[in-house]
Structure 1
Amino acid sequence: MKKYLALAALLLLAGCEAPDPAERRAALHLPPPDFKGEPAQGAQLFSAYCQACHGTSGAGTDQGPPLVNDVYRPQHHADFAFHMAVRDGVRQHHWGFGDMPAVADITPEQTEHIVAYIRREQSNAGIR
């Protein structure tokens, strides 16, 4: 009987398909694996989507925290955290600005450009 249950389980699992890697990345709000963000494009996108709250060059405002800050260094907030913030929003946790809402109209590729820009600005400020 156990043999038949094991065989039935294997047949059932064989009919299941693993999610397509591209679909999985898209669901996680990540660009294709070979995509490289460009800081220059990110600067323009940051200005359009992020600057109102996060300030010129990511220096912060009274509406949102500075992203060019040691709190957001790569070892503490990986690039993936920025993708999740855009996709899902962020609950207030380091600062007293309130929750950040999701930004639905930014693509994973645009987000990657923004992250490249933020990382460049952090590096220029000595944050690594």
Structure 2
Amino acid sequence: MRLNRTAGFRWSWGLAGVLLVAMAACDPPQPTPAAGGAATPAELQAGEAKFNANCSVCHGQQGTGTAQGPPLVHKIYEPNHHGDAAFQRAAAGGVRAHHWEFGNMPKIDALTSADVDQIIQYVRWLQKQAGIF
């Protein structure tokens, strides 16, 4: 019995194709925020404190998410997908759930626009530390 090299070639490319598609469909794990234990820069510590006081209950320490809210250190929240204005609108008016299954986000009355700007700078730093953008 002769082996049909063409059939074997097709099979191996078929298997490789399936594996490539499966790998592409997987959401790779995101790097840990502030990888390497980088300390929060002094100019971002006010934003970190405001994040911890107002956002971390749902969005987790360092924006990693919880059972109540999504991670902000995630590619969905990179500046090209959710710009800084989206964070401002979310804090000022709340957000209907659309990416995740956590439910709607209420508005955060305790934060001013300037507070949210500081929080955004801190979150963007976390994202950069994690290699998001």
Which consecutive unaligned segments of at least 5 residues does structure 2 have? 1-42
CA distance in 2, matches of 1:108, 1:99: 20
* Equivalent residue letter for 1:119: R
List structure 1 runs of 4+ shifted beyond 2 angstroms: none
Q: State the TM-score, normalizing by the size of structure 2.
A: 0.67
Query: 1:1-128 maps to which residues of 2 (within 5 A)?
Result: 38-128=43-133
Q: Residue 95 of structure 1: CA displacement?
A: 0.3
Deviations 1:66-115 (A, max 9, x none): 00000000000000000000001000000000000000120111000000
Q: Residue 40 of structure 1: CA displacement?
A: 1.4
* Equivalent residue letter for 1:42: G
**Highest CA radius of gyration, 1 or 2?**
2
Deviations 1:26-80 (A, max 9, x none): xxxxxxxxxxxx4211100000000000001000000000000000000000000
Report how many residues are paired: 91
Which consecutive unaligned segments of at least 5 residues does structure 1 have? 1-37
CA distance in 2, matches of 1:80, 1:58: 18
